[in-house]
Amino acid sequence: MTRAVWDLRNLPDLSGRTYLVTGTTAGLGFFSAEHLLRAGAHVIATGRNPNKLALAKVTLLGRVPQASMETLLMDTSKLGSVRAAAATVRARGRLDGLLLNAGVVHPPRTRETVDGNELVFATNVLGHFALAGELLQPLASAQGRMVWVGSVATSLWRYDPLDPQLVSGYTPWRAYVQSKVATTALGLEADRRLREAGVPVTSVVAHPGYSTSGRTPGIRGINEPSRSTRFVDNLQAPISQSKNDGAASLVRALVDPQVGGGELWGPRFLVRGEPRKAVAAALTRDPEVVARLWRTGEDAMGVRWPFEKAARAATPSARRRMPHRPGA
């Protein structure tokens, strides 16, 4: 599928492939799922609210008739929910890709999850770290790919997550930015460890630039910005884009075979534009920061990625055809 220009409206045929997308009830997750469905993929759509998840399914099937999809309840802030959902996915067979999209941008007043973790870090980072580990074997069997959703904020603010649970110095913005630093660092480090262990799964990071609801088409129950939000977001048109367009970087990172493991993809002009390969912030590539965050993920969630089992799960031919990674 080599092409000069990536066209989101003309994706490769994804028939026979299965992708799990977290956080599909609105925003980037909803539109990413729609693009995958239009290309013929089977989509496992997840969300934590059963009513919103049911509405998202009805809406997507209305927009993409005859699409193949199923829904799965999962709250990435809760380890028990993640493990139960992962067990269901493993029992259903093939998994070609995992889009780790669900997240909290504007934290509620309750800062702590039932597992005792800070809510933003748990939802945006820890739950996805656990889910990727739980689904590593089926991904390896299909020579699949995982995509972690980062943020342009990591290039603009350098919050080193020395205190990932923000025991002190908490602000909602700091919680969000450091969660995206951690997401990017773990996504890049995952590829290095997968390659080192001989697991034929690629890990990629993608970010949507500055994608706003006010510049996104209105969809009842999915995207219903107020008039004031529309007005403010349209004033930012030169430096923003719709969430539908922002999903392009995520989808390309997930399905384009020309994308290499250990890469970061985002809009051409940082905040908007067609997807292109980008350079991750130095902080997210710092070996000390990366090692610390990996240990944090393991300790907070009690999850160890099964690298050896995943390597064995792949067929010998799959291991011989391991995808190219930069520096491999």
Judged by average pLDDT, the poorest of 44-53, 105-114, 160-169, 243-252 is 105-114
pLDDT of residue 81: 97
Cα→Cα distances 190→105, 132, 244, Å: 24, 10, 27
pLDDT in tens, 79-114: 999 999 999 999 998 999 999 999 887 777 668 787
The confidence band for 326, taking pLDDT boundaries of 50, 70 and 90, is very low
Q: Which residue has the tokens 């997240």?
A: 103
Helix axes 50-63, 27-38, angle to 10 degrees: 40
The confidence band for 327, taking pLDDT boundaries of 50, 70 and 90, is very low
The distance of Cα 297 from the centroid of its chain, to the nearest Å, equals 16
- Is the model more confident about 105 or about 179? 179
DSSP 3-state of 211: strand
Q: What is the pTM of this model?
A: 0.92
**pLDDT at residue 328 greater than cutoff 80:** no
**pLDDT at residue 176 greater than cutoff 70:** yes
What is the phi/psi pair of residue 20, to 5°? -100, 130
The confidence band for 161, taking pLDDT boundaries of 50, 70 and 90, is confident
**pLDDT at residue 324 greater than cutoff 80:** no
In whole angstroms, give the CA distance from residue 231 to residue 211. 15
If you average pLDDT over residues 173-202, what whole number do you get?
Answer: 96
In whole angstroms, give the CA distance from residue 212 to residue 210. 6
pLDDT in tens, 23-65: 999 999 999 999 999 999 999 999 999 999 999 999 999 999 9
- Are 183 and 131 in contact by the 8 Å Cβ rule? The answer is no
72 strand-pairing partners:
46
**pLDDT at residue 4 greater than cutoff 70:** no
- Are 112 and 119 in contact by the 8 Å Cβ rule? The answer is yes
In whole angstroms, give the CA distance from residue 315 to residue 278. 32
pLDDT of residue 315: 61
The confidence band for 266, taking pLDDT boundaries of 50, 70 and 90, is very high
pLDDT of residue 156: 80
In whole angstroms, give the CA distance from residue 242 to residue 213. 7
If you average pLDDT over residues 281-306, what whole number do you get?
Answer: 95
In percent, the amount of the chain with pLDDT more than 90 equals: 68
pLDDT in tens, 213-228: 878 787 888 888 788 8
- Are 58 and 136 in contact by the 8 Å Cβ rule? The answer is no
- Are 236 and 249 in contact by the 8 Å Cβ rule? The answer is no
What sections of 136-271 are H helices per DSSP?
Answer: 136-141, 153-156, 172-197, 227-235, 243-255
Q: What is the mean pLDDT of the chain?
A: 90
pLDDT of residue 5: 64
The distance of Cα 109 from the centroid of its chain, to the nearest Å, equals 25
Through-space distance between the first and last CA atoms of the chain, rounded to whole angstroms: 22
- Is the model more confident about 223 or about 175? 175
pLDDT of residue 316: 61
Note the maximum CA span of the chain.
57
Residue 209 backbone zone (phi > 0: left; psi -120 to 50: alpha; other: beta): left
